[in-house]
């Protein structure tokens, strides 16, 4: 049709890029590694953001905003943190441009050099904990439950639209607590919020787990995560929630007087999801005709296309559709009547399939006579003729059914792609053939994890929560293991 999409089976990576670019989600920019989020993609992000923001507020968090810049010395205060981020920092060194006295155009003014370089935030633990020092004195100031919606920059050499970009949008929660138990409970609560969002809004099943030390956030005591499976069998980390212990409180000297009037260091968490979720959504559900968006977060849930041969027919269809649109909107459904006359219905059908609109209603002159409309669902591409009477109620049920069906389909695929293996040969064969998560025994050492990664490019995605304890032998070293962990190749 209008825009060519590379087949998924032919070139998965190109298929993904085609969907993002031709589906109107994002565009490359003139700045290496940075993307432009186009209106349709940004609409999707706004919807996701609004749902998450409400969940954060419902769990007692407030939004705030901290500076974009972090003094270089701050980043260095927590040893693991600087180790993790030093290699990908955008550094501001000067604060003024000037005309080149030698006629070379506009240049950086060498006299406007900063005394201390500023880092464009890759994450905000350091600047926030420096601020918390002046906000927290007593146990009465705790817990402090704050979230920030912001842009962050991590200089990446190999970038992919949404999945890995130098600048991305995200939210980062940063909370402060009086006890370790409270902080761990917060960490786990936010992991549950993310899992609920992924499963019930994005229709994307996830496994909740904890990262091994190798994969931990730089500066965390424990990193919890949700891991999803894409249609090529690769895993994608969709959100993380970190228990930071007292690491940042100690680095920035944030202490409080407890109920016994003694000074203690504060306990911390941080947690975040980013525009990467849009990449996950695309890869979890789409097909060769385009995006398939789950109704609960689709910017547009229903599109109505008129089919007519003359103005008289068009007028009658308009009248019916205008009433229907009003009724659908009244029911809280995001609907658009596309009666633009510069494109044929077939072109519009292809365009809305490409954009993943969950339900398409086509209405022609004969349909009107029969008091019916043709209703097509995007997820399984089935069509049916439905009575115009009570159509709004039917559409509401249909949207719920699509949401559930998309989740079920993804869950079936995911469940079929968790493969227990017991030998190295099976492990490699599964990764190279079937792909997906491979549940295997590991001897618990970072060295073995690293060796497996070097040999296969597979990493331990997580140790699932409530993981069954069942002794076995490490697939690489044969050493004893208490439980299986989930390996996969990942985005």
- In the complex, the residues that contact a second copy under the rule CB under 8 A are 27, 29-31, 34-39, 42-43, 45-46, 62-72, 74-76, 82, 86-99, 105-106, 108, 117-120, 127, 130-131, 134, 140, 146, 150-151, 153, 155, 167, 169, 342
Q: Which alpha helices (DSSP H) does 97-177 contain, by range?
A: 125-135
Q: Which is nearer to a second copy, 3 or 457 (CB)?
A: 3
Residue with tokens 């550094």: 91
The distance of closest approach from Cβ of residue 89 to a second copy in the complex, given in angstroms and rounded to an integer, is 5
Residues 6+ apart with CB under 8 A from 304: 321, 324, 325, 335, 336, 337, 338, 360, 361, 362, 363
Q: Which is nearer to a second copy, 80 or 451 (CB)?
A: 80
Confirm or reject binding of residue 225 to Zn ion (CB under 5 A): yes
57-65, 77-85, 181-189, 220-228 -> range binding Zn ion (CB under 5 A): 220-228
The distance of closest approach from Cβ of residue 126 to a second copy in the complex, given in angstroms and rounded to an integer, is 9
CA-wise closest residue to 294 among 361, 206, 359, 203: 203
Q: What are phi and psi of 266, to 5 degrees?
A: -80, 150
DSSP 324-386: HHHHHHHTT--EEE---TTS-HHHHHHHHHHTT-SEEEEEEHHHHHTTEEEEEETTT--EEEE
Among a second copy, Zn ion, none, the one that 98 touches (CB under a kind-dependent 5 to 8 A) is a second copy
The distance of closest approach from Cβ of residue 68 to a second copy in the complex, given in angstroms and rounded to an integer, is 5
Residues 6+ apart with CB under 8 A from 169: 37, 45, 149, 150, 151, 274, 275
Among a second copy, Zn ion, none, the one that 91 touches (CB under a kind-dependent 5 to 8 A) is a second copy
Q: Which alpha helices (DSSP H) does 86-124 contain, by range?
A: none
- The Cα–Cα gap between 370 and 433 comes to 52
Residue 485 in tokens: 């962990």
The distance of closest approach from Cβ of residue 467 to Zn ion in the complex, given in angstroms and rounded to an integer, is 11
51-59, 221-229, 252-260, 303-311 -> range binding Zn ion (CB under 5 A): 221-229
Among 18, 227, 287, 449, binds Zn ion (CB under 5 A): 227
Among a second copy, Zn ion, none, the one that 209 touches (CB under a kind-dependent 5 to 8 A) is Zn ion
149-157, 298-306, 415-423, 461-469 -> range binding Zn ion (CB under 5 A): 461-469
Among 23, 143, 209, 272, binds Zn ion (CB under 5 A): 209
Among a second copy, Zn ion, none, the one that 94 touches (CB under a kind-dependent 5 to 8 A) is a second copy
The distance of closest approach from Cβ of residue 223 to a second copy in the complex, given in angstroms and rounded to an integer, is 23
The distance of closest approach from Cβ of residue 22 to a second copy in the complex, given in angstroms and rounded to an integer, is 13
- The Cα–Cα gap between 120 and 88 comes to 10
Among Zn ion, a second copy, none, the one that 445 touches (CB under a kind-dependent 5 to 8 A) is none
Length of the chain, in residues? 491
Strands 222-229 and 235-245, how do they pair?
Answer: antiparallel
Confirm or reject binding of residue 460 to Zn ion (CB under 5 A): no
The distance of closest approach from Cβ of residue 206 to Zn ion in the complex, given in angstroms and rounded to an integer, is 9
Q: What are phi and psi of 91, to 5 degrees?
A: -115, 125
Q: Are 395 and 375 in contact (CB under 8 A)?
A: yes
Q: Are 27 and 375 in contact (CB under 8 A)?
A: no
Among a second copy, Zn ion, none, the one that 88 touches (CB under a kind-dependent 5 to 8 A) is a second copy
The distance of closest approach from Cβ of residue 225 to Zn ion in the complex, given in angstroms and rounded to an integer, is 4
Q: Which is nearer to a second copy, 271 or 442 (CB)?
A: 271
Query: Helix 12-22 and helix 276-285: axis angle, to 10°?
Result: 120
Residues 6+ apart with CB under 8 A from 310: none
Q: Which is nearer to a second copy, 43 or 436 (CB)?
A: 43
Q: Which is nearer to a second copy, 121 or 417 (CB)?
A: 121
Among Zn ion, a second copy, none, the one that 227 touches (CB under a kind-dependent 5 to 8 A) is Zn ion
- The Cα–Cα gap between 265 and 255 comes to 4
SS3 371: coil
Among 251, 278, 439, 462, binds Zn ion (CB under 5 A): 462
- The Cα–Cα gap between 20 and 41 comes to 8
Residue with tokens 């041969």: 309
The distance of closest approach from Cβ of residue 131 to a second copy in the complex, given in angstroms and rounded to an integer, is 5
Among a second copy, Zn ion, none, the one that 106 touches (CB under a kind-dependent 5 to 8 A) is a second copy
Query: Which residues in this chain contact Zn ion in the complex, by CB under 5 A?
Result: 209, 225, 227, 461-462
């Amino acid at each position: 049709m209008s825009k060519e999409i590379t087949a998924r089976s032919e070139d998965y990576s190109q298929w993904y890029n085609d969907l993002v670019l031709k589906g109107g989600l994002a565009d490359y920019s003139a700045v290496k590694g940075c993307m432009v989020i186009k209106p349709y993609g940004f609409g999707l992000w706004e919807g996701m953001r609004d749902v998450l923001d409400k969940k954060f507020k419902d769990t007692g968090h407030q939004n705030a905003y901290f500076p974009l810049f972090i003094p270089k010395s701050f980043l260095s205060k927590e040893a693991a943190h600087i180790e993790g981020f030093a290699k990908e920092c955008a550094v501001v060194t000067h604060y003024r441009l000037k005309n080149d006295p030698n006629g070379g155009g506009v240049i950086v003014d060498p006299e406007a050099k900063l005394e201390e370089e500023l880092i464009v935030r890759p994450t905000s633990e350091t600047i926030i904990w420096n601020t918390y020092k002046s906000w927290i004195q007593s146990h009465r100031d705790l817990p402090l439950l704050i979230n920030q919606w912001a842009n962050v920059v991590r200089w990446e050499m190999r970038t992919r639209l949404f999945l890995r970009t130098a600048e991305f949008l995200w939210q980062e929660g940063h909370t402060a607590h009086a006890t370790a138990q409270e902080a761990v409970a917060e960490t786990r609560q936010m992991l549950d919020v993310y899992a609920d969002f992924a499963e019930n809004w994005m229709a994307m099943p996830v496994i909740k787990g904890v990262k091994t030390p190798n994969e931990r956030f730089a500066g965390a005591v424990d990193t919890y995560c949700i891991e999803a499976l894409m249609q090529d069998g690769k895993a994608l980390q969709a959100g993380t929630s970190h228990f930071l212990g007292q690491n940042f409180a100690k680095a920035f000297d944030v202490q409080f007087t407890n109920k016994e009037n003694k000074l203690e260091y504060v306990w911390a968490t941080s947690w975040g999801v980013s525009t990467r979720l849009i990449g996950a959504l695309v890869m979890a559900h789409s097909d060769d005709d385009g995006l398939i968006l789950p109704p609960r977060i689709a910017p547009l849930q229903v599109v109505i296309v008129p089919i007519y041969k003359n103005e008289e027919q068009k007028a009658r269809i308009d009248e019916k559709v205008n009433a229907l649109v009003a009724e659908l909107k009244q029911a809280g459904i995001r609907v658009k009547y596309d009666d633009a006359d510069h494109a044929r219905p077939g072109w519009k059908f292809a365009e809305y399939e490409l954009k993943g609109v969950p339900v398409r209603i086509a209405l022609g002159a004969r349909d009107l006579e029969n008091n019916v409309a043709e209703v097509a669902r995007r997820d399984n591409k089935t069509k049916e003729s439905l009575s115009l009477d009570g159509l709004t109620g039917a559409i509401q049920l249909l949207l719920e059914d699509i949401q559930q069906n998309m989740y079920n389909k993804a869950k079936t695929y995911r469940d079929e792609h968790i493969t227990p293996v017991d030998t190295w040969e099976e492990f490699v064969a599964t990764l190279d053939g079937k792909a997906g998560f491979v549940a295997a025994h590991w001897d618990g050492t970072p060295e073995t994890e690293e060796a497996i990664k070097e040999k296969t490019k597979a990493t331990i995605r997580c140790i699932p929560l409530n993981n069954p304890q069942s002794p076995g032998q490490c697939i690489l070293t044969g050493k004893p293991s208490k439980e299986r962990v989930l390996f996969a190749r990942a985005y």
